[in-house]
Amino acid sequence: MLTDVEKAFQSLLRGEDGELRTALDHFHEMVTEGGDAVSKAGLAYTVKMDATTVRIEAETKALVASVGRMDEQSEREYTCSNAFVVISESLQGQEAEIHCDELLDWLSLLNFAEKQADVFSKWHPGTGTVALDDH
């Protein structure tokens, strides 16, 4: 024995029940409209995501360029830092050399050849020979 729902369904399939046919047609229209709305929403979301992707790609390229500039700047700073160390060490070496030259100039104020000639000019024969004689 068929239930009322089963009878209504059979009647619908045969196209005998106009009210159910109208309801089914309306249901199909609503599904189609809903599908269209979902499609439009999906398309809108895809367009939005595409724009976001383009923006992120541009920002990423800018970031990569910025990192490249920072890397170049770091390399220049490293090179300058190394140059500073080399210059500083060179200046320290030059300062030590200048200090040594100043010390030698100070020591050179004594003219040993002149001093020896002066001492020999004042020497009298026989002076100091007692200390040098073998006894």
Residue 73, Ramachandran bin (φ over 0: left; ψ between -120 and 50: alpha; else beta): alpha
Q: Residue 113: which pLDDT band, with cuts at 50, 70 and 90?
A: confident
Res 88: pLDDT: 72
Res 22: pLDDT: 79
* In the chain, domain spans: 10-123
Asked if 20 and 11 touch (Cβ cutoff 8 Å), the reply is yes
More confident residue, 29 or 81: 29
Q: Residue 116: which pLDDT band, with cuts at 50, 70 and 90?
A: confident
Is the pLDDT at 3 greater than 70, yes or no?
A: yes
Res 39: pLDDT: 80
Res 14: pLDDT: 74
- Convert the pLDDT of each residue in 18-53 to its tens digit: 776 777 788 888 878 777 787 888 888 888 888 888
CA dist 97 and 29 (Å) reads 100
CA dist 8 and 2 (Å) reads 10
Residue 105, H or E segment: helix 18-107
Res 107: pLDDT: 64
What is the rounded average pLDDT of the residues 7-25?
Answer: 73
